Structure 1
Amino acid sequence: MTFVISSKLFAVLLSGAVAWTTLAYAPALHAAEEKALVVRFYDDPAGFDPANIFRIENENIAFNIFSGLTSYDSKTGKIIPDLAESWETKDNLTWTFHLRKGVQWQKGYGEFTAADVIYSYKRVLDPQTASPYASELAGVDTMEAPDPYTLIIRLKAPNGGFLHTVANYHQGQIVKKEAIEAAGNQVRWKPVGTGPYYLDSIDVNSRIVLKRHEGYYKGPAPIATLDFHIIKDDATAAIALRNGEIDVLMRQSKEEQLQILKEAGFKMNHVDNYASSLKVMNLSDPILKDVRVRQAIAHAIDYAAITEAIAPSLQGTATSLLMPWMEVYSKDAPTYGYNPEKAKKLLAEAGYANGFVLKTLGTSAQGVTEQQQFEIDYLSQVGIKMELELVDTPTFNQRRNKGDFMTASRLLPAINPDMILFSYLHPSNIAPKGLNGARYDNAELTATIEAARAEAEPKRRMELYAKAQKIAMTDLPYLPATSSNVFWPSKPEVNVVTINYLAQVNFWEVTK
């Protein structure tokens, strides 16, 4: 086995300050152990092609099969090197990446090179691929590889957040041309990457088995086999953990089950505030186009009290589209505490002293949720009658994507602040073209987020992001309702189940 050690780390080792067992690559030292980890997978798998993948549970599989030029630190969410050892840019317009040498593809496809990156990105951009993530790479102007381990990407416009675009997530995950071609129309079920695990077998009705990639550039993982059992019901999954049938629950979303498992002594692996849940308010509606009405709704609902009553472990209150752990998060944006009297005053000023009907699009499968019951009650106290329009899930998704609603809901799982701000606030993404279901278009905010993404000077960049958040939370096209916490309960002997801010686990770090 070969270890690649930086000169800085080598110097530390010589000083005797760090033992081998504390190195980041320490899992490789235990690779001889043939351990297996049984993990609950909570839905039917939908495939693992990075160009078309969706849903968090599938993304957890892909995250451990593939790699990106960059990745995310499991604890902090900060960008870290992955297939690229280093990079530089002077203007956020031209990016030069220096790639790792000797990285091996799974299943005997040889060594990773810059050509694989260029192929992967071109594949996402190809209309024939029909990738929903093509827009993320649309800013790329040219790509060239002066040698197999150097990649130069020139953008059409400066983008200070480009390292998120090339990270190990969706369009940033690198595939192998020969493997894609060999898979044909079965590509989503035959993923081949450079990550710590490869797909060994799959039964879409019951089981997914991953085996460790012995040639992984960081060294083989401590756990030899990841055995995912498909258990859809949360209560059934909790019983399976208590009976010793599984080692880890991928997601437990029932408050009562969490408390039972906690009292039974299981580990409560979790990440807090990974995403905001929003109430999307369609500004093309004649009532909601008045900002006073939107602000009145914000003051009328006590989300802190709702969260405490329903799911104090699984939820928190949200005050922004961005999360507090994001580097560009600003504390200076307006917030809306519970204040029914202020809500009534704003409604009267807007001409709705006697209230109005607020129609909310939902799914018949989910029914009327506890949170919606609370919202109905709170809004009624200021004269707003909230009516639910429940449709089947495909219709819900179709109408929400078209912007065909008065209000709807959406979760914002994203680690890249630009992805949130541009996807939900930029006029080029107004539904049905993109995720801007609020149909929000503010020229000042648009100019601000465009300038922020292009700005190379850190202090000025932070000022621009703060300004953008202030505008967005004043205009309130989206009302942040709750923040989501993610729990993966496990047996006490399972260690380092660190859930990142994309609700993913890097299983290369997990030990048992």
Structure 2
Amino acid sequence: MKKFTAVLLAAAMAFSLTACGGNSGSTTTAGPEGQTTKEEQAKPETDTTVQTEAQTEAAGQPKEGGTLKMGMSVECMTAAAWRIRSNQETVTWGLVYEPLIKLDDAGNPVGYLAKSLEGDKENLTYTVTLRDDVYFSDGSHLDADVLLWNFENFKEKSQTSSTHFGSVDSFEKTGDYTVVIHLNEWNSQIPYSLNSVPGLMYSKKAFDENGEEWCMQNPVGTGPYVLDKWVNDDSKTFKKNENYWNKDATVYLDSVETKVIADEMSAQAALLNGDINAYFGGSTSFQNTMMKAGFERAANKMNYRIYFLIFASDVEGSPLADVKVRQAISYAIDSQSIAENVDFGITFVSKEYAVEGTPFYNDAVKGYGYDAVKAKELLKEAGYENGFTTTVYAGVDQALTSYLVAIQGYLKEVGITLNIEEQETAIWTSKGIYDIDEGMILAGHGFGANLVNQQVSNFSKRAREGVGMLKECKLHPDDLDNAIMSALQASDTAEMLKYEFQAQEMIIDDYCLGYPVVMSEAYVTMMNKDLVDAHCFANNDNFPDFTGIYFK
């Protein structure tokens, strides 16, 4: 089983996160003594690892200048900070935006754009105090008025508002650089949310002068680069932000170009020919091929992606309304074989909605190992000895297609006929995933140190009001909802994990709301050996740090 180390900051009743003006994160992959990391267990014999900072220093000084040319599989349609959602958007707009809070090497929240964050459980508040030296690329100043507007704008307009700010009642400016977040119930996850999309700052000046529609195509942030040129469905060019506020950071590259290369054969040729230096979003097959060709793999160390088979249908008379049928489907799927044979050992298996080695992983969860005999027994007990026909829905994605075909074959072996329906990404993300009345959904989404937030969004009763995976499902049991909300409102880490562990057992063992097919790192970039990733992609944050990459 693959593992990684992460230390969760105790969600105390009152705490202060101190700002760090320099760079954070590293590329080391060492695990606890006696353990191997998931990178060591996953990589093929031909794999090469990203250099550590110590190795980089030994190899010589970083080179300043040059243009990083990076391919990715899909276009990023909107640029406004509060609309970011996909992995491609996260990487692309990470050139322009920065978060209020970062995560240090141990996974603890520390201040960045924010000088401090103080929580007060008794009064249900978090107080955010900004640095006084942060400026946007348009020259405007980040102060309390701008922070207040960003918070209110995110809560009102973001697709993920319920996930991050569902417990927020209001925001209050209390000083030139201070805003208080007022909660209607305690939320231990706010520090982690401010490392995610809610913590990204957009220029209020740009919004006021140009309007919301303009902002969708024009990112204006505090980051080290600014958008220079955008050719739809083709490329984007970013140049250095001449007004970059962080004088402690070195912006090595002169410019960055991102190019949409949907076809992986074309992406492979572009890397081999030197037309691009890096590629983000490649399949496991692509990663395996490029590692064998000598390219390096830079992966985020805190954020993971789960491919979850969701039993969305609970309509009366549906076979999937029976927990024994849902359990039978889970037993019928050989995830280990999928990880090894479909994904070349790059993805890995977890029995639950968490990664082994993290604080959230519950050893008590039984899960469902591959057992076709057990699957048939459960189907017989449920009255479906002769099987049945159902449908699985998914957005168009190369990885999902491979998993769908594999799952279809496994279910056929136990008598279940599975029809596959894939929808174009734009339709799927805006409507498709929320219009399923009968059948299952195969979807992927990320989670990291804010896993409890994801449980709230996807499995609590609040999922009905948000954008979570089980939005249209009626299976939101009272005891599960209570466990998840108790974890969200916990006073400290021990209490939070107690309830989170309960939720894990209910999601998987008791109610079998879904089945974790495989997991992987959320952000993986293949790079040629001319590049050094000091702390750009291989960090603990939700976003890359483009001050941490350069040419040798």
- Secondary structure in 1 matching 2:274: coil
1:178-211 C-alpha deviation (Å, 9 max, x unpaired): 1112232211222111122222222224321122
1:350-398 C-alpha deviation (Å, 9 max, x unpaired): 2222222232224688799343333223222222222334555555552
Match of 1:296 in 2: 328
1:230 partnered with 2:260? yes
Match of 1:12 in 2: none
Match of 1:262 in 2: 291
Partners of 1:57 and 1:76 in 2: CA distance: 25
Provide the TM-score with structure 1 as the length reference. Answer: 0.86
Distance of aligned partners of 1:408 and 1:62 in 2 relative to their CA distance in 1, 3 Å threshold: same
Distance of aligned partners of 1:325 and 1:162 in 2 relative to their CA distance in 1, 3 Å threshold: farther
The runs of at least 4 aligned residues of structure 1 exceeding 6 Å deviation read 364-368
Partners of 1:193 and 1:368 in 2: CA distance: 33
1:407 partnered with 2:443? no
Sequence identity (%) = 22
Provide the TM-score with structure 2 as the length reference. Answer: 0.80
Task: Tell me if structure 2 keeps the 8 A contact 1:293–1:350.
Answer: yes
Task: Tell me if structure 2 keeps the 8 A contact 1:37–1:225.
Answer: yes
Partners of 1:34 and 1:366 in 2: CA distance: 35
2:114 corresponds, among 84, 104, 126, to 84
Distance of aligned partners of 1:364 and 1:270 in 2 relative to their CA distance in 1, 3 Å threshold: closer
Match of 1:249 in 2: 279
Partners of 2:469 and 2:331 in 1: CA distance: 25
Larger Rg over CA atoms: 1
Moved more, 336-345 or 436-445: 436-445
The structure, 1 or 2, with the larger RCO (C-alpha pairs under 8 Å, 6+ apart) is 2
Partners of 1:383 and 1:450 in 2: CA distance: 38
Distance of aligned partners of 1:493 and 1:393 in 2 relative to their CA distance in 1, 3 Å threshold: closer
Partners of 1:31 and 1:263 in 2: CA distance: 26
1:93-104 map, 5 Å: 93-104=124-135
Match of 2:165 in 1: 137
1:22-421 map, 5 Å: 33-73=64-104, 78-91=108-121, 93-109=124-140, 111-126=141-156, 130-135=157-162, 136-167=164-195, 169-184=196-211, 185-214=213-242, 215-217=244-246, 218-253=248-283, 255=285, 257-271=286-300, 274-285=304-315, 286-324=318-356, 326-362=358-394, 369-390=401-422, 396-397=428-429, 398-415=431-448, 416-421=450-455
1:404-434 C-alpha deviation (Å, 9 max, x unpaired): 3311111121322123211111123237875
Distance of aligned partners of 1:131 and 1:396 in 2 relative to their CA distance in 1, 3 Å threshold: closer
Partners of 1:433 and 1:63 in 2: CA distance: 23
Structure 2 gap ranges (5+)? 1-18, 22-52
Q: By how many angstroms is 1:157 displaced?
A: 0.6
Partners of 2:103 and 2:400 in 1: CA distance: 36
Match of 2:514 in 1: 478
Which amino acid in the other structure matches residue 204 of structure 1? N
Match of 1:428 in 2: 462
Which amino acid in the other structure matches residue 202 of structure 1? W
Q: By how many angstroms is 1:283 displaced?
A: 4.4
1:239-293 C-alpha deviation (Å, 9 max, x unpaired): 11111111111222151x4344223322122358811101110241331121111
- Secondary structure in 2 matching 1:413: strand
The CA RMSD over aligned residues, in Å, is: 3.0
Task: Tell me if structure 1 keeps the 8 A contact 2:81–2:200.
Answer: yes
Which amino acid in the other structure matches residue 200 of structure 2? Q
Distance of aligned partners of 1:254 and 1:322 in 2 relative to their CA distance in 1, 3 Å threshold: closer
Distance of aligned partners of 1:222 and 1:271 in 2 relative to their CA distance in 1, 3 Å threshold: same
Partners of 2:62 and 2:293 in 1: CA distance: 31
1:322-362 C-alpha deviation (Å, 9 max, x unpaired): 33364333222221111112112212222222222232224
Q: By how many angstroms is 1:32 displaced?
A: 9.5
1:35-75 C-alpha deviation (Å, 9 max, x unpaired): 321111322230210222332212212223122221345x6
Partners of 2:447 and 2:427 in 1: CA distance: 24
Distance of aligned partners of 1:79 and 1:404 in 2 relative to their CA distance in 1, 3 Å threshold: farther
Query: How many residues are treated as equivalent by the alignment?
Result: 484
Match of 1:451 in 2: 486
- Secondary structure in 2 matching 1:307: helix
